[in-house]
Amino acid sequence: MDFSITEQQRELQKAIIEFAQKELNQDVILRDKQSTFPLDLWQKCAQMDLMALPFPEKYGGCGMDFFTTVLSIEALASSCKDAGLVHAIITQLVSGLLLNLFGNEEQKTKYLIPVARGQKIAAQAVTEAEAGSDVFSLRTRAERRNGTYAIEGSKIFISNGSIANFVFVLALTNPAKKTLGSHSFFIVEKGQKGFDSGKPIEKMGLRTLQNSELVFDGCIIPAANLVGKEGQGAVIFHEIMEWERILFGACHVGTMMRITEAGVNQARKRRQFGQPIGKFQSISEKIARMKMSGELARLMVYKAAVLKDERKRAALEASIIKVFAGESLKEACMDALQIHGAFGYMTEAEVERDLRDSVASTIYSGTSEINTLIIARLLGL
């Protein structure tokens, strides 16, 4: 595999970094405190084509490969301090990928174009109160009725849920089946009768990311809103999880690079006992581990991105990324706080926010425990 980064890709990364540092980092502390989503900054990101990168030009995209998209998300996360905004953009990208891979021409024309241009916000509604990682236990149902589907049930913790213009809902369509063939994906638009998005859920971290409950109570949608084929839901879900976990891995790599750089600067600047604290082995080892973890995670992310560009499966690689990058990010953020000492515990240092945001990295898109189990099963255990 060739992980060489072209001059064009480096220029794109540089442009994204400069854009994020100039436009996206003002008032992050206040937005975090108030748990507000920066819609104005979302629109600026759309103007930078951050949501359009991997999609065909005919659908409003930039026509770039997935490896370039991954490089762009890494650059964004390395320079944007609002992790909630970065996660919202990844959710938008994953929604668009789902549609681009499995939607029909009419659906792409109607929905993918505004997704790529950032004119409409999208979300995937999968998780339920008693079924997150156990997809086959989802209870939300979609019953076919004379050219329509009636959806009943609820979803929880849905990223972009309260601000989405439409959502991709995974629902049970064949209760008789217990595994593959039992579920399907549907597009449900905001304002549809019987569909209600709850208020944003207050969270420990990623506070600007809007997560909410979605309720479907007698929600009738056209049969044309079925994505792919009926019963294809599990196949779509497992495929799209690969893309999502790789994108989040790129996000984690970017964040680790940012906090490693901040840690190095702090270790050089802060002095104790007559010398920079970086001269103490206990500090230098923490920074070295942060750097090693970031570089190793980056290689896995790049490998998986190339596999997806070659239209190959990357289930094993995606789960390894999810576990290693997520756990490494959380550990790195904890070490970063220790390096900054008491100042790192203070809100103004912006280190404690990174730590709070990082905790969820071992939970969303499949917990570390579930992804470890997936890795074992893919090894034949």
Q: Where are the domains of the chain?
A: 7-120, 123-233, 235-378
3-class secondary structure for 39-83? HHHHHHHHHCCCCCCCCCHHHCCCCCCHHHHHHHHHHHHHHCCCH
At residue 137, the pLDDT reads: 85
- Average pLDDT for the chain: 97
Tokens of 17: 């970094």
Give me the sign of the Cα torsion angle 322, 95, 27, 203.
negative
Q: What CA–CA distance (Å, rounded) separates 238 from 242?
A: 7
Closest CA to 371 of 293, 318, 314: 318
Q: Please, are residues 76 and 320 in contact by the beta-carbon 8 Å criterion? A: no
The residues with which 219 forms a beta bridge, in sequence order, are: 151
Closest CA to 323 of 370, 291, 268, 258: 370
At residue 242, the pLDDT reads: 98
At residue 131, the pLDDT reads: 83
The residues with which 150 forms a beta bridge, in sequence order, are: 143, 220
**DSSP letter at 128?**
B
Phi-psi region of 108 (alpha: psi -120 to 50; beta: other; left: phi over 0): alpha
Helices (H), the chain: 7-23, 28-34, 39-47, 66-79, 83-102, 105-107, 113-116, 233-269, 281-309, 315-344, 351-359, 368-378
At residue 320, the pLDDT reads: 98
Q: Which residues are catalytic?
A: 244
The residues with which 272 forms a beta bridge, in sequence order, are: 275
Q: What CA–CA distance (Å, rounded) separates 250 from 69?
A: 9
Tokens of 128: 């339920």
Question: Hey, what CATH topology would domain 123-233 get?
Answer: Butyryl-CoA Dehydrogenase, subunit A; domain 2 (2.40.110)
At residue 154, the pLDDT reads: 97
The CATH code for residues 235-378 is: 1.20.140.10
At residue 365, the pLDDT reads: 96
Q: Please, are residues 255 and 354 in contact by the beta-carbon 8 Å criterion? A: yes
Q: Is 82 exposed, middle or buried (0-12, 13-18, 19+ CB in 10 A)?
A: buried
At residue 2, the pLDDT reads: 80
Encoded amino acid at 287, one letter: I
Answer whether 0.95 is exceeded by the pTM. yes
At residue 179, the pLDDT reads: 78
Question: Could you say which of 3.40.50.10800, 1.10.540.10, 3.40.50.620, 3.20.20.140 is the CATH number of the domain covering 7-120?
Answer: 1.10.540.10
Residues 6+ apart with CB under 8 A from 94: 124, 240, 243, 244, 247
Q: Please, are residues 201 and 157 in contact by the beta-carbon 8 Å criterion? A: yes
At residue 1, the pLDDT reads: 76
Q: What CA–CA distance (Å, rounded) separates 141 from 123?
A: 18
Q: What CA–CA distance (Å, rounded) separates 61 from 43?
A: 15
Cα angle 266, 301, 313; round to 5: 165
Q: Please, are residues 106 and 227 in contact by the beta-carbon 8 Å criterion? A: no
Q: Which residue stretches of the chain have pLDDT < 50?
A: none
How many Cβ atoms from other residues are within 10 Å of residue 71's Cβ? 25
